[in-house]
Structure 1
Amino acid sequence: MRKQVTNKKYKLIFQQKGVADILDALKDLSLSLYLARSDIRQRYRRSTLGPFWITISTGVMIGCIGGIFGGLFKSPMFEFLPFLASGLIIWNFIASTIMEATTTFVGAEPIIKQLPLPLFLHCLRMVARNFYIFLHNLLIFPLVLIFVQRPLDLSSLLFLPGLTILIINLLWISLLIGIVCARFRDLAQIVASLLQIFFYVTPIIWMPNLLPARTSVMILDPNPAYHLLEIVRAPLLGHIPSLTNWIVSITIAFVGWAISIFVFNKFRGRIAYWL
Structure 2
Amino acid sequence: MQHTSTVAPSAPPPAPDSRTFARAFADVRDAWRNRELWGHLGWQDIKQRYRRSLIGPLWITISMGTTALALGLLYSQLFNQQLPTFLPYVTAGFVIWNFILGVVSEGTDVFIANEGLIKHLPAPMTVHVLRMVWRQVLFFVHNLAVYVVVVAIFFPALTKPYTMEGENVVQPGIGWDILLAIPAFALIVVNAVWVALLFGIISTRFRDIPPVIHSFINLIFFMTPIVWHTGVLNKVTNGEGSWRVLIAELNPIYHYVEIVRAPLLGHQQSWHHWVVVGALTLVGWALALVALRNYRARVSYWV
In structure 1, distance between residues paired with 2:295 and 2:132: 20
2:273 matched residue in structure 1: 245
1:157 matched residue in structure 2: 179
For residue 197 of structure 1, report the CA deviation from its aligned partner. Answer: 2.2
In structure 2, distance between residues paired with 1:14 and 1:158: 37
1:215 matched residue in structure 2: 244
Identity of aligned residues (%): 38
1:31 to 37, 40, 58: 37
Query: How many pairs does the alignment contain?
Result: 263
1:184 matched residue in structure 2: 206
1:124 matched residue in structure 2: 130
Letter in 2 for 1:222: L
Secondary structure at 2:249's aligned position in 1? coil
Q: Report the CA distance shift for 1:49/1:220 in structure 2 as closer, same or farther (over 3 A).
A: same
1:228 aligns with 2:256: yes
2:140 matched residue in structure 1: 134
For residue 14 of structure 1, report the CA deviation from its aligned partner. Answer: 8.1
For residue 15 of structure 1, report the CA deviation from its aligned partner. Answer: 6.3
User: Which range moved further: 113-122 or 24-33?
Assistant: 24-33
Letter in 1 for 2:282: F
For residue 241 of structure 1, report the CA deviation from its aligned partner. Answer: 2.8
Letter in 2 for 1:214: W
**Cα-to-partner distance string for 1:241-273 (whole Å, 9 max, x where unaligned):** 312100000110011000110111000011000
Letter in 1 for 2:243: R
1:3 matched residue in structure 2: none
Secondary structure at 1:74's aligned position in 2? coil
1:56 matched residue in structure 2: 62
TM-score by length of 1: 0.92
In structure 2, distance between residues paired with 1:77 and 1:240: 20
**Cα-to-partner distance string for 1:99-137 (whole Å, 9 max, x where unaligned):** 001110011111110111111000000000011011000
Moved over 4 A (4+): 12-15
In structure 2, distance between residues paired with 1:46 and 1:153: 41
User: Which range moved further: 226-235 or 186-195?
Assistant: 186-195
Letter in 2 for 1:25: A
TM-score by length of 2: 0.84
Letter in 1 for 2:276: V
RMSD over aligned Cα, in angstroms? 1.5
Are the aligned partners of 1:77 and 1:148 in contact in 2 as well (CA < 8 Å)?
Answer: no
Are the aligned partners of 1:66 and 1:84 in contact in 2 as well (CA < 8 Å)?
Answer: yes
Are the aligned partners of 2:19 and 2:293 in contact in 1 as well (CA < 8 Å)?
Answer: no
1:169 to 175, 191, 194: 191
Q: Which protein has the bigger helix share?
A: 1
In structure 1, distance between residues paired with 2:20 and 2:88: 44
In structure 1, distance between residues paired with 2:37 and 2:131: 8
1:19 aligns with 2:25: yes
In structure 2, distance between residues paired with 1:207 and 1:106: 37
1:195 to 207, 212, 217: 217
